[in-house]
Structure 1
Amino acid sequence: MRALSRLFGLLLLGLLGGLVLLSSCETARTSKANDEAKQMQDLSNAAGASLLGIAGSRQVMRLDHQGEVQYKIPQSAVAAALIRQLHDGTVIDQVQVRAAPGSDAKQPVYYLIGLGHRNGGFRAIAIPLHGTDDSTYYLIPTAGRYIITGVGCRTCYFDFEAGHIIGTTCEDNSGGSSCSLQVLNANQVFTGSRPAAPPQKKRR
């Protein structure tokens, strides 16, 4: 009888030990899963934070249910930022966001465009926006700049092909009127810094 009781006690002890080990493994598995989920969330948060301004990106606009542009930054503030970006005496007096002709209708390419003048000549700057799945569009620092300078031309237009800017056209093609397009990498519109001023010519 004692032997039977002792055997039963050993079996019970083994069973309890197994339950403790199983519980420990399950806890470790749950902890690992939680760690992996946290790492994924941290990566997601970092990516979102990058778009939301840490890397100089800024939400510019969002499309509503009717596909209308809803500006997230006052256009006057955008115009001032574009003036700081150009930093050459250009005055931007009109800001707009337009879908690029020829871009995919399901995922259209939108450009932030500033129109203005410098020393009486036409000036314009266009920067492509980065779109997300929820129809929100950001200006990111790696986006290139397309800058038009008009000479004797009242209005210049950006020429598009398949959603991309490929050139410029003068409204009035009469003699002496022209528009030139300059393409530059990246931008500093919302980074809080601006390019250095051009060197001043020394007076003799």
Structure 2
Amino acid sequence: MLRLLSTPRLLLAPALLAAVLLSACEASRRTRETANPDDGTATSEPTRRSERIDRKEQKETADLRIMDSPNRLVAAVVESKVQYKVPREILMQQFNRQFDDGTVVDKALVRPIQSKAKTKEKPVYYLVGMGLRNGMFRAMALPLELSTDNELYLSTTAERYMLEGRGCQMCYFNFEGDKITGTVCEDNSGGGTCTLTVVDNNTFFPPKR
């Protein structure tokens, strides 16, 4: 009798265990469905957080590129007119520092040069400073790079074209197309001369720290 009673108990135990497991699985499935409804709202927050992190990393990368970039924004071209992003007084100071020989620059400007052979193309822009050293005319021109959004940048690899006048009140740059190739004295009737010196790079703007 005891043996007959124990047999149903052994048979019922697996059945009860299976029922409990099925119930637990169903509850777990309902919990997951509640946490992750079909509208995707439960997963949208991690996605937005990931997007915010990506945007932050992109901004930090862009900031590092700006700091490491050898180019410095000088001006912008708006409706064919130059708008200075660096005050011209600061540009004059930088010219004085770049000459580093006692030259005092009292005029700084951005000048466009349009090649006659490239009238359909945009002009080349030069940053120009003019002044005196010991009463002698001095000038410097640095070519600027024009970006796709019409901003003008000075690269540390841009050449320095420097003029020095001797017995000449005013010297001018000579151009072939939009390239500086020489110089001429405004009035050399008194034997005045102008000389052109070209240096391959510049330190016009001190490096960022």
Give the structure-1-normalised TM-score. Answer: 0.69
Match of 2:106 among 93, 99, 103: 93
Match of 2:89 among 76, 83, 93: 76
Aligned residue number for residue 61 of structure 1: 75
Residues 146-155 or 104-113, more deviating: 104-113
How many Å separate the matches in 2 of 1:50 and 1:106? 30
Aligned residue number for residue 21 of structure 1: none
Largest Rg, 1 or 2: 2
Aligned residue number for residue 178 of structure 1: 193
User: Which amino acid is the alignment partner of residue 76 of structure 2?
Assistant: R
Query: Alignment partner of 1:89: what SS?
Result: coil
Query: Alignment partner of 1:77: what SS?
Result: helix
Tell whether the 8 Å contact from 1:94 to 1:115 is kept in structure 2 after alignment. yes
RMSD value, Cα: 3.8
How many Å separate the matches in 1 of 2:90 and 2:67? 22
Q: Which has the higher contact order (CA 8 A, sep 6+)?
A: 1
Tell whether the 8 Å contact from 1:141 to 1:191 is kept in structure 2 after alignment. no
Percent sequence identity over aligned pairs: 41
Tell whether the 8 Å contact from 1:101 to 1:161 is kept in structure 2 after alignment. no
Query: Alignment partner of 2:129: what SS?
Result: strand
Match of 1:157 among 172, 180, 202: 172
How many Å separate the matches in 2 of 1:59 and 1:74? 12
Give the structure-2-normalised TM-score. Answer: 0.67
Residues 120-129 or 105-114, more deviating: 105-114
- For structure 2, the residue ranges without an aligned partner over 5 or more in a row are 1-53
How many Å separate the matches in 2 of 1:39 and 1:107? 35
- Structure 1 pair 143–161 and aligned structure 2 pair: CA distance change class (3 A): same
Residues 103-112 or 85-94, more deviating: 103-112
Query: Alignment partner of 1:58: what SS?
Result: strand
Displacement of 1:139 in angstroms is 1.2
